[in-house]
Amino acid sequence: MIKVVHIIGSKQLGGAERFYLRLVQALQKGGQTTVAFLRRGSEVVREVPPEIPVIELPMRTVWDPLSKWEVRRAIARVAPNIVLTYMGRATRLTHIRPGGGIVHVSRLGGYYKLDGYRHAHAWIGNTRGLCGYMIEHGLPASRVYHIYNFIDFPPAADPGRRAAMRTACGLSDTDIVMVTAGRFVEVKGHRDLLAAFARLPASLDDRTLKLLMVGDGILGDALRHQAKQLAISDRIVWAGWQTEPGGYYDMADLVVFPSLERETLGNVILEAWAHRRPLVTTLSRGAREITRHGEDAWCVPCNDPAGLAEGIMTVLNNKALRAAMVDHGEYKVRNQFGQEAIVNQYSALFDRLLARSATAVESGT
């Protein structure tokens, strides 16, 4: 049985960390022995399922020699076959000698500078575009692998719960609810969304148009100030950060994902499809790779509030389009981004890397 250590150094819980938790649990259920190495006191620690062993480590800074030593000591104690590091802090703190029987795989979810990643033995990118970027910047193509994120499929929406959540959010049954989810940081494009929302009519077919903002972050105050300046505050619900946002997607009549160009993938896209909600998205790097305009999403340019507003109105005014996009989106996420398919790809990759490592040891290379 393969034993895999999963290391992430995040302090806060966001989309990348939620995927980490999903993957660790799915691989454990798939028959691997998994151990989670987490930053001490992080928000991620309390979300790990009880069946997953957890080791908390300081991971103070990427330069801290004591943190590096503690990571190395913990790895030696657990003695895994694979060490999978997520993003920069975890990767920079993890140094494993090639040919020593443990394979270090670094998983990237963004277009980062690669200097702190080159010492890994193999690399996973969650989009084809990201893998191309890694190869173009000097990582060996034979050791760069593409595996998409997966999404958990929600249970069937409960109308009673949906109605109760709408009431709790101050929304009526007749409101048209647009939902966006994500940390309030620049790349997520929330400024453009608010500017687009201000261009929309206050109501459509006598139904009030509301915007439900699921998230929080460093731009929270600035976004609330912008909404006030645009005179749209009374039609916005600030739901705060939600570790389990599924119920908010179920409330949506439309999901909007307004990220900027450098967005690598966009789990919100997959979540909208899994919850069978029509989607309007900007054409960020990730969206260009996985969506098909007019088929499973309505796609508009980045940094274009007028175009985003026009796209939202196009979808809201076309019931047949919404229904078709929902069906195509669900089909795509089930066939390309389902848990079983992605877990099988990880398992096959680990087997391949371990076989290659064993061959290299035997040959003395």
Q: In this prediction, what percent of the chain has a pLDDT beyond 70?
A: 98
Query: Residue 213 pairs with which residues in a beta bridge?
Result: 180, 238
Average pLDDT score over residue span 334-356:
94
Whether 167 and 255 share a structural domain: yes
Give residue 243's pLDDT: 82
Q: Tell the residue number behind the tokens 């929304």, with chain if given.
A: 171
pLDDT of 357 higher than 90: no
Give residue 197's pLDDT: 98
Average pLDDT score over residue span 37-46:
96
Question: Using CA atoms, how far apart are residues 69 and 162, in angstroms rounded to an integer?
Answer: 49
Whether 164 and 86 share a structural domain: no
How far CA 272 is from CA of 59, 254, 267, 291, 324, in Å, comes to: 34, 9, 9, 12, 14
pLDDT in tens, 287-306: 999 999 999 999 999 999 99
At residue 238, what are phi and psi to the nearest 5 degrees?
Answer: -100, 100
Give residue 358's pLDDT: 75
Question: Using CA atoms, how far apart are residues 116 and 92, in angstroms rounded to an integer?
Answer: 6
Whether 354 and 307 share a structural domain: no
CB crowding 88-117: b at 16 or more within 10 Å, else e: bbbbbbbebeeeeebbbbbbbbbbbeeebb
User: Which has the closest alpha carbon to 154: 249, 240, 243?
Assistant: 249
CATH number at residue 70: 3.40.50.2000
Give residue 157's pLDDT: 79
Whether 238 and 143 share a structural domain: no
Whether 224 and 325 share a structural domain: yes
Give residue 360's pLDDT: 62
Total domains in the chain come to: 2
Q: In this prediction, what percent of the chain has a pLDDT beyond 90?
A: 88
pLDDT in tens, 228-237: 999 999 999 9
Whether 245 and 216 share a structural domain: yes
- What's the length of the chain? 365
pLDDT in tens, 117-151: 999 999 999 999 999 999 999 999 999 999 999 98
Give residue 364's pLDDT: 54
Give residue 10's pLDDT: 94
Whether 118 and 169 share a structural domain: no
- The structure tokens listed for 241 are 């950060």
Give residue 158's pLDDT: 84
Give residue 365's pLDDT: 54
pLDDT in tens, 269-289: 999 999 999 999 999 999 999
pLDDT in tens, 149-194: 998 888 887 888 888 999 999 999 899 999 999 999 999 999 999 9
Whether 267 and 329 share a structural domain: yes
Q: Which comes out higher in pLDDT, residue 236 or 98?
A: 236
Average pLDDT score over residue span 223-252:
95
Note down the domain range covering 94.
Answer: 3-150+338-363
Whether 199 and 317 share a structural domain: yes
pLDDT of 251 higher than 70: yes
**DSSP letters of 216-261?**
--TTHHHHHHHHHHTT-GGGEEEEE--S-THHHHHH-SEEEE---T
Give residue 352's pLDDT: 96
Question: Using CA atoms, how far apart are residues 140 and 137, in angstroms rounded to an integer?
Answer: 9
Whether 310 and 357 share a structural domain: no
Chain mean pLDDT for the chain: 94
pLDDT of 99 higher than 90: no
Question: Using CA atoms, how far apart are residues 305 and 47, in angstroms rounded to an integer?
Answer: 36
- The structure tokens listed for 66 are 């004591």
Question: Using CA atoms, how far apart are residues 127 and 211, in angstroms rounded to an integer?
Answer: 30
At residue 73, what are phi and psi to the nearest 5 degrees?
Answer: -65, -40
In the chain, the largest separation of any two C-alpha atoms, in whole Å, equals 75
At residue 93, what are phi and psi to the nearest 5 degrees?
Answer: -85, -5
Question: What's the predicted TM-score (pTM) here?
Answer: 0.90
Whether 168 and 231 share a structural domain: yes
Per DSSP, the three-state class of 352 is helix
Whether 141 and 226 share a structural domain: no
